Amino acid sequence: MKNLTYIFSLLSFFLFFACIGDDFIEDQVEAEIRIDANVESIEVNTDYQFEYTYLNEVGQSQQVEVVWSSSNEEVMTIDENGLAQAITIGEVRIMVSYDNGTIVLSDQIDLMIGSTTIIVEKQTFKGNIQTTSSYVLEGSFELKEEDQGLSLSFEEDYKASTALPGLFIYLSNNRNSIANAFEIGAVEVFNGQHNYTIENVEFNDYKFIVYFCKPFNVKVGDGSLEE
Amino acid sequence: MKNILSVFVLMLFSVNLAQAGGPWPQPKGKGYFKLSEWWVVFDQHYTDSGKLDPNATTGVFNTSFYGEYGFTNRLTGIINAPLFSRNYMNNIRSNTTQEIIVQGEAINSIGDIDLGLKFGLTKRDAAVPISVSVLLGIPTGKKVGGTLNNLQTGDGEFNQFVKIDAGSGFSIGKTSAYISGYLGLNNRSKEFSEELRLGAEFGVGLMDKKLWLVSKLDVSESFKNGANAETITSTSLFANNSEFASLTLEANFYVAKRLGFSASVASAFRGEIIAAAPSFSIGVFYDMNK
């Protein structure tokens, strides 16, 4: 009986090693701010609401106190909320900046104030995915704005390993993390041309495509969205 | 298709199939019983190309009962029952913000039970005893668990492992020793690939046979005839087409006439879709042959 007690005590002791711990990933990126505006020209004597996106040091979108400014207030004025008024015909540069305590981040956009508002045509990002693991993952892709959302299409040169189950594809602002990423879905095509239709995502919301293996909780590959 | 998931520790459950080693059936009415704790914790794995890739730290702990009992002098019943199995994955945290990105989880349950029979084709005291064994893997463990369905304490499939063992006992001076080998086929269901299993074992008895030191080589080669992520049709799939070659070092020490302790360490030195870390086991056994 004494031996049994000892044995069970020993076995119970080993179960204490079976506690959930922490794995850390290096996910620091450079913070950035950008103006989200898809216009080339704004009609004179109209208002236009500018928006911004601030991505913090892990690529997470945050609301912050930004400063809006106009290069020529006789052409266009802008208030602290990004609401602009087109005053007269001419050229103007709209800027946004944010001091995060370490660095002042800024972005700018050059516009024409004219007789009509001109929206930028549907945009396209192109890029290549590459493996960041030992599993095969390669190919070129295109992200397009469509009437019903976004279309992410892969070309004939696309190839992904079938040995790795539970492979998912994401849109993310951090190539090393799927935190705050948009899950497009499970990878079901492993070779050749195919397409994903993405709804409820704006064209400029994300910067990277990330392939992530859920069962292993590990990134498999990525690709940058480039103009 | 959306539930195609895998945990590549699958093979670690199946490895136990090879535990019923040696060509020697138990004598009638005699047996060998063992209660053990087996565990592996790993943060990297062998990929499909045999290279090492990182993964979230994963642990598997099995508290198992293993028994062999001689129904006749040639027919032995075998059971390997993981009475308690725990599988966990660590939290994935941002090193920048310390926030949890993927929540770690654990599941606990009974594991997959193996039941089998070993039949001696020769007498136990033959110069080269030979036996055949049939072991059935019963999917009593949890095949999916956790919110991401990426934890398991079993593979969810019935399998039949048929093997032939041969070996021989001999002396090296005054030291008792044995050598044995096996060759087998593991037939698996649920779109898993079949496997060729083979291995060899060498043991020496020291300190008047109170201490047995054993080394084992186990090899599993997949026929790669099952489903992969592209072709799976069932709703659930664990790691398939896994392969390994592993070495085990084991010590068994009799602290009483029939009672002893055992400890072992095993590690794959080659593999595909399998954990790349040593596994450990400690246990206590009762040997009625003494």
Mean pLDDT for A121-150 is: 92
Answer whether residue B211 shows pLDDT above 60. yes
Quick one: closest CA in A to B3, which residue? A166
Domain residues for B276? 10-287
CA A132/CA A212 separation, integer angstroms: 10
Mean pLDDT for B263-283 is: 94
CB-based contact A21 B232, cutoff 8 Å: no
Quick one: closest CA in A to B275, which residue? A216
Q: Which residue has the higher pLDDT, A13 or B146?
A: B146
Predicted local confidence at residue A99, as pLDDT? 95
Q: Which residues of A lie closer than 8 Å to B, measured between beta carbons?
A: 3, 7, 10-11, 14-15, 17-28, 57-58, 133-135, 161-167, 177-179, 185-188, 190-191, 213-218
- With contacts defined as CB-CB under 8 Å, which chain B residues touch A179? 94, 99, 101
CB-based contact A21 B53, cutoff 8 Å: no
Q: Encode pLDDT of B12-65 as tens digits.
A: 444 444 455 689 999 999 999 999 999 999 999 999 899 999 999 999 999 999
Structural domain contains residue B1: no
| B interface test, pick of A4, A25, A26 with most B CB neighbours within 10 Å | A25
Quick one: closest CA in B to A30, which residue? B96
The structure tokens listed for B72 are 């006749």
Q: Which of A162-176, B27-41, B85-99 has the lowest mean pLDDT?
A: A162-176
CA atoms within 13 A on the CB side of A147: 0
CA A54/CA A65 separation, integer angstroms: 10
Cβ contact A173:A208 at 8 Å: yes
Helices (H) and strands (E) in chain B, counts: 1, 16
Predicted local confidence at residue A10, as pLDDT? 60
In angstroms, the separation between the Cα of residue B117 and the nearest Cα of chain A is 28
Judging by beta carbons within 10 Å of its beta carbon (0-12, 13-18, 19+), is residue A187 exposed, middle or buried?
buried
* ipTM of the complex as predicted: 0.84
Q: Encode pLDDT of B98-156 as tens digits.
A: 999 999 999 999 999 999 999 999 998 899 999 999 999 999 999 888 888 888 898 88
Structural domain contains residue B187: yes
Given B95, B238, B239, which is nearest A27 (Cβ)? B95
Structural domain contains residue B163: yes
DSSP chain A: -HHHHHHHHHHHHHHGGG---EEEE------EEEEE--EEEEETT-EEE-EEEEE-TTS-EE----EEEES-TTTEEE-TTSEEEE-SSEEEEEEEEEE-SS-EEEEEEEEEEESS-EEPPPPEEEEEEEESSSS-EEEEEEEEEETTEEEEEE-TT-EE-SSS-SEEEEEES-TT--TT-EEEEE----BS-EEEEE-S--TTS-SEEEEEETTTTEEEEEEE-B-
Using DSSP bridges, classify how beta strands A51-55 and A90-99 pair: parallel, antiparallel or unpaired: unpaired
pLDDT > 90: percent of chain A? 75
In angstroms, the separation between the Cα of residue A134 and the nearest Cα of chain B is 7
Answer whether residue B8 shows pLDDT above 60. no
CB-based contact B94 A25, cutoff 8 Å: yes
Given B7, B8, B96, which is nearest A27 (Cβ)? B96
Mean pLDDT of chain A: 91
Instruction: Band the pLDDT of B7: cuts 50, 70, 90.
Output: very low
Instruction: Band the pLDDT of B6: cuts 50, 70, 90.
Output: very low
Predicted local confidence at residue A94, as pLDDT? 97
- Pick the closest to residue B31 from B289, B290, B252 (CA basis): B289
Structural domain contains residue B141: yes
CA B32/CA B118 separation, integer angstroms: 13
Answer whether residue A131 shows pLDDT above 80. yes
CB-based contact A15 B241, cutoff 8 Å: no
Predicted local confidence at residue B55, as pLDDT? 92
Answer whether residue A185 shows pLDDT above 90. yes
Segment of A162-166, B118-122, B139-143, B225-229 carrying the highest mean pLDDT: B118-122
CA B4/CA B11 separation, integer angstroms: 17
Cβ-proximal residues to B191 (8 Å cutoff; 6+ apart), any chain: B226, B227, B232, B233, B234, B237, B240
In angstroms, the separation between the Cα of residue B104 and the nearest Cα of chain A is 6
- With contacts defined as CB-CB under 8 Å, which chain B residues touch A213? 55
Predicted local confidence at residue A1, as pLDDT? 54
Predicted local confidence at residue A18, as pLDDT? 75
- Pick the closest to residue B35 from B284, B288, B252 (CA basis): B284
CB-based contact B56 A10, cutoff 8 Å: no
Q: Which residue has the higher pLDDT, A165 or A142?
A: A142
Instruction: Give buried/exposed letters for B210-237 (b at 16+ CB in 10 A, else e).
Output: eebebebebbbebeeebbbbbebeeebb
| B interface test, pick of A2, A22, A188, A191 with most B CB neighbours within 10 Å | A22
The structure tokens listed for A221 are 């590959």
Answer whether residue B166 shows pLDDT above 60. yes
Q: Encode pLDDT of A52-88 as tens digits.
A: 999 999 999 999 999 999 999 999 999 999 999 999 9
Structural domain contains residue B2: no
What is the pTM (predicted TM-score) of this model?
0.86
Instruction: Look up tokens 């859920």; give the residue.
Output: A214
Predicted local confidence at residue A125, as pLDDT? 93
Predicted local confidence at residue B189, as pLDDT? 83
Instruction: Band the pLDDT of A3: cuts 50, 70, 90.
Output: low
Q: Indicate which CATH number applies to the domain containing B14.
A: 2.40.160.40
CB-based contact A17 B282, cutoff 8 Å: no
Structural domain contains residue B188: yes
Mean pLDDT for A27-34 is: 94
Predicted local confidence at residue A14, as pLDDT? 59
Structural domain contains residue B14: yes
Beta bridge partners of A84: A48, A78
- With contacts defined as CB-CB under 8 Å, which chain A residues touch B241? 163
Quick one: closest CA in A to B51, which residue? A134
Answer whether residue A4 shows pLDDT above 70. no
Quick one: closest CA in B to A18, which residue? B59
Structural domain contains residue B97: yes
Number of domains in chain B: 1
pLDDT > 70: percent of chain A? 93
